[in-house]
Amino acid sequence: MGKKGPRAASLLDKLPVDPVIIVMLTISLLIFALFLIAPLASLFLSPRSILTTDLLKSYLDYPYISLEPIGDEWIITLDRDGVTHIIFTWRNYGIILNTILAAILVTIFTSIIGVLVALAMARYDFPGKNILRILVIVPLLYTPFVNAFVIYKFLGDGGIISSITSHLGFTIEFQDIAGMILAQTMMFWPIVYLNVYSSMVQIDPSLEEQAENLGASGLKLFRSVTLPLSMPGLASGAAIVFIFSMEDLAAPLAFKVEDVISIRIVKEILSSATIMELSPDTVILALILVVTASTWFIAIKRYVSLRQYAMVVRGGRWTPRRFKPSLLGYLLIYLLMAPWTLFSAIPQFGVLVYAFTEQWIGVTPTGLTLDNFRYIFSEPVTLTALKNSLVYAGSAVLVIIVIAVSSAYVASRVKSRLAWLVDLLSTIPIAIPGLALATGLIILYGFSRASEVWPFSLLNPIEYSPALLLILAYAVRRSPFTTRAIYAGLQQVHEALEESAMNLGASRARVLATIVIPLIGINIFSGALISFVYSVAEVSTSITVGRIHPIDEGYAPMTAVMYEYLTGGYGGGNYIHIVAAMATLILTVQLLVITVTNILLKQRYAFIGV
Partner 1 sequence: MVRVTLSGVTKRYGRVTAVDNVSLEIGDGEIFTLLGPSGCGKTTTLRIIAGFERPDSGKIMFDDEDVTSLKPHLRGTAMVFQNYALWPHMTVFDNVAYGLKLRKVPKGEIRKRVKEALELVGLSGLEDRYPLQLSGGQQQRVALARAIVVEPRVLLLDEPLSNLDAKLRLRMREEIVSLQRRLGITTIYVTHDQEEAMSISDRIAVMNKGKVLQVDTPQGIYRNPRSYFVATFIGRTTTLRGIIEASENGVYRVRAGGLTIFGISASGRRFRQGEEVVAVIRPEDFTIAGDGGVNVIQGRVDLVMFLGVFNQVKLSTPAGPITVYLRPKFKVSRGDQIQVYVNPEDVKLYSIAEAVED
Which spans of this chain sit near partner 1 (rule: CB under 8 A)? 204, 206-207, 209-217, 220-221, 224-225, 228-229, 231, 307, 309-317, 319
Contact 185, 110 (CB under 8 A): yes
CB of 120 to partner 1, least distance (A): 20
Query: For residue 78, what is the DSSP state?
Result: E
Question: Which residue, 217 or 305, is less far from partner 1 as judged by CB?
Answer: 217
CA-CA-CA-CA dihedral for 547, 548, 550, 552, to nearest 10 = -60
Contact 107, 185 (CB under 8 A): no
Rounded CA separation 431/609 (Å): 9
> Among positive and negative, which fits the CA dihedral 517, 523, 526, 532?
negative
CB of 213 to partner 1, least distance (A): 5
CB of 217 to partner 1, least distance (A): 4
Question: Which residue, 228 or 554, is less far from partner 1 as judged by CB?
Answer: 228
Amino acid at 201: V
Q: Are strands 366-368 and 357-359 parallel, antiparallel or unpaired?
A: antiparallel
Question: Which residue, 2 or 218, is less far from partner 1 as judged by CB?
Answer: 218
CB of 118 to partner 1, least distance (A): 18
Rounded CA separation 102/178 (Å): 8
What is the maximal distance between C-alpha atoms in the chain? 87
Rounded CA separation 380/558 (Å): 12
CB of 318 to partner 1, least distance (A): 10
Question: Which residue, 318 or 454, is less far from partner 1 as judged by CB?
Answer: 318
CB of 242 to partner 1, least distance (A): 23
Rounded CA separation 152/179 (Å): 8
CB of 209 to partner 1, least distance (A): 6
Amino acid at 550: P
Question: Which residue, 314 or 449, is less far from partner 1 as judged by CB?
Answer: 314
560: CB partners within 8 A, 6+ apart: 385, 542, 543, 546, 547, 551
CB of 130 to partner 1, least distance (A): 20
Count of CB atoms situated within 10 Å of the CB of 340? 15
Rounded CA separation 114/315 (Å): 31
Query: For residue 540, what is the DSSP state?
Result: H
Contact 578, 372 (CB under 8 A): yes
Burial of residue 365 (CB within 10 Å: 0-12, 13-18, 19+) is middle
Question: Which residue, 216 or 596, is less far from partner 1 as judged by CB?
Answer: 216
Question: Which residue, 212 or 258, is less far from partner 1 as judged by CB?
Answer: 212
Question: Which residue, 315 or 505, is less far from partner 1 as judged by CB?
Answer: 315
Question: Which residue, 57 or 324, is less far from partner 1 as judged by CB?
Answer: 324
Q: Which of 225, 164, 228, 141 minimizes the C-alpha distance to 534?
A: 141
CB of 495 to partner 1, least distance (A): 25
CB of 253 to partner 1, least distance (A): 42
CB of 328 to partner 1, least distance (A): 16
The phi, psi pair for 232, rounded to 5°, reads -55, -45
CB of 316 to partner 1, least distance (A): 4
Rounded CA separation 55/43 (Å): 16
Helix (H) or strand (E) holding 115: helix 95-123
Report the b/e string of 272-293 with b at 16+ CB within 10 A. Answer: bbeeeebbbbbbbbbbbbbebb
Question: Which residue, 201 or 231, is less far from partner 1 as judged by CB?
Answer: 231
Question: Which residue, 122 or 444, is less far from partner 1 as judged by CB?
Answer: 122
Q: How far does the chain reach from its first CA to its final CA, in angstroms?
A: 41
CB of 231 to partner 1, least distance (A): 8
Burial of residue 530 (CB within 10 Å: 0-12, 13-18, 19+) is buried
Distances (CA, A) of 182 to 105, 176, 187, 287: 10, 10, 9, 26
Question: Which residue, 320 or 380, is less far from partner 1 as judged by CB?
Answer: 320
83 forms beta bridges with 80
CB of 429 to partner 1, least distance (A): 30
Question: Which residue, 65 or 231, is less far from partner 1 as judged by CB?
Answer: 231
Q: Which of 471, 596, 609 minimizes the C-alpha distance to 525?
A: 596
Question: Which residue, 295 or 326, is less far from partner 1 as judged by CB?
Answer: 326
Rounded CA separation 288/281 (Å): 11
